């Protein structure tokens, strides 16, 4: 069994340079053409692949935990007249369909993390486009709070995917244009169908950038704006952060083991079992103690491991259709961690830890796998870990007087980990009866299987006679269904209620990109993506569906 190493460190970045000077962090894109994530394509014109985005994700995460004094992040490039050409086309050409979709999903989650950095950590982000930002390069810019474009007569912003590749800006570009930047629909329509994009004054007038500066004054104007941001910013969250150590699993046959998370894959049945373990010993009781423990604290370590496990599932095990979610350990220890996370929510590291947990849970929400939670003897679905059961497509809780099983709600189920559309998982579960969500969030006594089923907190509560057969049949039936239909069904059912920019983006990644990436107009032998860079013109099936 092979794993993918998502660990990166600024000292060993290949494609980015991260520097921190007091309250200002500078993240500079300088992609090395001859060092793609996998052999077979050059990374020309600062185009990116999964390896480039791994470094970007690492940088954002490290700034949050390791550099709490930073108040402004400047994102730019070293290349003359090029900021970023977007996702590498030749990488996409040579990739499998599942990889393409999961790549788009991962890059979008990274950009959402950048937006969250500004919203939750109070760090304003500025994209200094010293050259053309095309496709995913412009999507990276849109993820920042401000965009400053150089006006040199050639540099532009563009979304050329529709006219050139017969696909869409794959990391939420269209949605961010109209939902985030509030670009007029007709203007956005023109912009997205003009391959060369908009330059200078036209980009500014259309609202696609926030400022345009001449080449001679570009660096000066950007630095002046950074200084203004820092001067107006809130005081630093702390003088010193914690260090994030690498997260790696050990491989034991068909099982991946981290300290607190275990992933067991049954390739034959196309089912994986993902088990999250409760803390084993005493955990920090306040913010200062959490800083002292650092990245080894259970709340940080466990969810970084869970994050890695989800990414391993997405990129390394595309045959797995169903993930069985389990927990193991002492529920009281989980509840104690939750009490600390609730009582000290204003502490900067506690807040970042809560944000990390929420982000990992949202990654689970949008992962293209079925999830069934099994609540059985030895489980600890309490508080934060009960969110796993609420995130699952179904939950089964054993009802056996001889082996009593309980679940536990805590303050963390009342709003700490909101979904992508802003609702708690309880509110989403009881969309038609909000009073039931409020009542459930207030429960503090352990809940047994009969009560859990009556309260609607689990899907089924079979007794000890039916448990084995009912669970086995459910798992086998689910694994036998069409993965395409299930992906569409789950994406439609998981986010009941209001839409947000984030849910729109992921809904379209699950549906539109899954469809567009398999259409012959793009990926067929004569499709636009397949023929990109060659003299032949694409051949389209012009039927509209």
Q: Is residue 512 in a domain?
A: no
Query: Could you give the percent of the chain with pLDDT greater than 90?
Result: 95
- Tens digits of residue pLDDT in 284-324: 999 999 999 999 999 999 999 999 999 999 999 999 999 99
276 and 417 together in one domain: yes
298 and 188 together in one domain: no
State yes or no: pLDDT of 147 exceeds 90: yes
Range of the domain at 268: 250-486
- Write the CA distances from 106 to 49, 103, 110, 533, integer angstroms: 11, 5, 6, 26
* pLDDT band per the 50, 70, 90 thresholds, residue 381: very high
- Tens digits of residue pLDDT in 474-511: 999 999 999 989 988 998 999 999 999 999 999 887 77
343 and 389 together in one domain: yes
Contact 136, 86 (CB under 8 A): yes
Task: State mean pLDDT over 358-382.
Answer: 97
The 3-state DSSP class for residue 275 equals: strand
Query: Could you give the percent of the chain with pLDDT greater than 70?
Result: 100
Task: State mean pLDDT over 340-356.
Answer: 98
In our burial notation (b when 16+ CB lie closer than 10 A, e otherwise), range 398-410 reads bbbeeeebbbbbb
Ramachandran sector of residue 272 (left: φ over 0; alpha: ψ -120 to 50; beta: rest): beta
For the chain, state the CA radius of gyration. Answer: 24
210 and 258 together in one domain: no
* Contacts of residue 273, Cβ cutoff 8 Å, sequence gap at least 6: 262, 263, 264, 266, 323, 324, 326
Q: Is residue 183 in a domain?
A: yes
Distance CA 488, CA 39 (A): 32
* Contacts of residue 229, Cβ cutoff 8 Å, sequence gap at least 6: 71, 72, 124, 126
pLDDT for res 512: 74
N- to C-terminal Cα distance for the chain?
A: 41
Task: State mean pLDDT over 459-488.
Answer: 96
- Write the CA distances from 403 to 108, 148, 330, 461, 462, integer angstroms: 44, 63, 15, 13, 13
The tokens of 206 are what? 């259309």
pLDDT for res 488: 87
28 and 74 together in one domain: yes
The enclosing domain of 255 has a CATH number of 3.90.226.10
Tally of domains within the chain? 2
pTM score: 0.97
Q: Is residue 416 in a domain?
A: yes
pLDDT for res 513: 74
Distance CA 447, CA 455 (A): 9
Name the residue with higher pLDDT: 545 or 472: 472
State yes or no: pLDDT of 467 exceeds 90: yes
* pLDDT band per the 50, 70, 90 thresholds, residue 417: very high
221 and 347 together in one domain: no
- Tens digits of residue pLDDT in 110-134: 999 999 999 999 999 999 999 999 9
Task: Write down the H helix ranges in 424-466.
Answer: 425-429, 434-441, 449-455
107 and 202 together in one domain: yes
Q: Is residue 497 in a domain?
A: no
200 and 334 together in one domain: no
* pLDDT band per the 50, 70, 90 thresholds, residue 1: confident
302 and 202 together in one domain: no
- Tens digits of residue pLDDT in 160-189: 999 999 998 988 999 999 999 999 999 999
Of 273, 290, 282, 430, which Cα lies nearest the Cα of 356? 290
Task: State mean pLDDT over 393-421.
Answer: 97
């Amino acid at each position: 069994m092979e794993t993918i190493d998502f660990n990166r460190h600024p000292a060993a970045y290949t494609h980015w340079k991260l520097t921190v000077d007091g309250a200002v962090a500078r993240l500079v894109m300088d992609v090395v053409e001859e060092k793609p994530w996998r052999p077979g394509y050059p990374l020309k014109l600062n185009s990116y692949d999964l390896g480039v985005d791994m470094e970007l994700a690492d940088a954002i995460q490290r700034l949050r935990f390791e550099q709490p004094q930073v108040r402004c992040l400047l994102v730019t490039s070293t290349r003359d007249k090029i900021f970023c050409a977007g996702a590498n086309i030749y990488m996409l050409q040579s990739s499998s369909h599942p990889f393409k979709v999961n790549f788009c999903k991962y890059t979008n989650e990274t950009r959402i993390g950048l937006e969250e950095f500004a919203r939750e950590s109070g760090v304003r982000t500025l994209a200094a486009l010293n050259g053309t930002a095309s496709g995913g390069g412009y999507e990276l810019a849109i993820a920042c709070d401000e965009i400053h474009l150089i006006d040199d007569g050639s540099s532009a912003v563009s979304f050329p995917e529709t006219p050139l590749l017969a696909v869409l800006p794959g990391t939420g570009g269209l949605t961010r244009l109209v939902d985030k930047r509030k670009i007029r629909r007709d203007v956005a329509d023109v912009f997205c169908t003009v391959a060369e994009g908009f330059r200078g004054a036209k980009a500014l007038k259309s609202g696609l950038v926030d400022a345009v500066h001449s080449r001679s004054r570009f660096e000066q104007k950007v630095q002046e704006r950074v200084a203004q941001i820092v001067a107006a910013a809130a005081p630093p969250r702390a003088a010193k952060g914690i260090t994030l150590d690498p997260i790696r699993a050990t491989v034991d046959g068909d099982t991946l083991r981290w300290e607190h998370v275990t992933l067991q894959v049954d390739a034959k049945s196309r089912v994986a079992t993902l088990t999250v373990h409760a803390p084993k010993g005493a955990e920090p009781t306040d913010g200062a103690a959490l800083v002292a423990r650092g990245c080894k604290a259970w709340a940080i370590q466990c969810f970084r491991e869970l994050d890695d496990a989800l990414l391993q599932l997405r990129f390394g095990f595309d045959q797995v259709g169903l993930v069985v979610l389990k927990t193991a350990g002492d529920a009281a220890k989980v509840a104690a961690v939750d009490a600390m996370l609730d009582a000290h929510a204003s502490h900067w590291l506690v807040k970042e830890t809560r944000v990390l947990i929420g982000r990992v849970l949202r990654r689970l929400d949008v992962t293209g796998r079925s999830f069934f939670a099994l609540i059985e003897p030895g489980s600890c679905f309490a508080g934060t870990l009960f969110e796993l059961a609420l995130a699952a497509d179904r939950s089964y809780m054993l009802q056996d007087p001889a082996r009593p099983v309980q679940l536990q709600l805590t303050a963390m189920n009342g709003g700490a980990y909101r979904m992508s559309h802003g609702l708690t998982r309880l509110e989403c579960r009881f969309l038609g009866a909000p009073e039931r969500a409020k009542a459930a969030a207030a429960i503090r006594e352990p809940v047994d299987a009969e009560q859990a089923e009556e309260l609607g907190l689990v899907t089924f509560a079979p007794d000890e006679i039916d448990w084995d057969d009912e669970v086995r049949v459910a798992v086998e039936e689910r694994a036998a269904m069409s993965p395409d239909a299930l992906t569409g069904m789950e994406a439609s059912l998981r986010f009941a209620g209001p839409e947000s920019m984030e849910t729109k983006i992921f809904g379209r990644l699950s549906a539109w990109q899954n469809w567009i990436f398999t259409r012959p107009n793009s990926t067929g032998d004569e499709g636009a993506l397949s023929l990109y860079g060659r003299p032949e013109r694409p051949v389209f099936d012009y039927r509209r569906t």
